[in-house]
Amino acid sequence: MEDPFDQSTEETGEGIGSQIDRPLVLIGLMGVGKTTVGRRLARKLGLPFVDADEEIEKAAGLSISEIFERFGETYFRDGERRVISRLLDDRKQVIATGGGAFMNAETRDLILSHSTAIWLDADINILVKRVARRDTRPLLKDGDPETILRDLARKRNPIYAEAHVHVTGNDSPHEVTVNNIMKSLEL
């Protein structure tokens, strides 16, 4: 069966992904565009793309929200770490992670030692507009999204700063962010 995440170099015509020697892992706050940018980056590089949250949902047979509700965040983070560890062992690919994945010290160590971590960043006001479009984010269910995102940024940005690459996307088209990532990777 054909892998739906696999993007051949014939499709992109570039083959730039052959210059990548390890997985590329996108980290950052919710709403920053990790999945959308990740898909486009993978396509441009001719590499497979995988969304860690989708893989967690497949493994658990539950949505992220259901996992949080039934078992709590600690249980979710443990499962997330195990799934990301498996994804890092698979092959060269682009991996989008959930916003909190990099906060877990074990997960962060795995990402930093087995991949190139790319922190996607954006202004909080832009993120608030983006996350308001969907109500599937467990951490935003019990409060004002702007207040929660500002608090998360204050706590998480110093940790995200440990990533190998930092790219700010803001409200530019996703293709601009993809090109900025490629420039940062010197591709």
Q: What is the DSSP code (8-state) at residue 6?
A: -
- Structural domain boundaries in the chain: 18-184
Q: Which of 57, 48, 64 is nearest to 100 (CA)?
A: 64
Q: What is the pTM of this model?
A: 0.85
| Fold for the domain defined by 18-184 | Rossmann fold (3.40.50)
Of 9-13, 32-36, 59-63, 126-130, minimum mean pLDDT range: 9-13
Find the mean pLDDT for residues 30-53.
94
Burial category of 84 from C-beta neighbours within 10 Å (exposed 0-12, middle 13-18, buried 19 and up): buried
Residue pLDDT, tens place only, 128-172 = 887 765 555 555 566 778 888 899 999 999 999 999 999 998 788
Where residue 13 falls among pLDDT bands split at 50, 70, 90?
very low
Among the residues of the chain, which ranges form H helices?
A: 9-12, 34-45, 52-60, 64-71, 73-90, 105-114, 124-131, 145-160, 174-184
- In the structure encoding, which two tokens stand for residue 135, read together? 């109500």
Q: Which residue has the higher pLDDT, 91 or 98?
A: 98
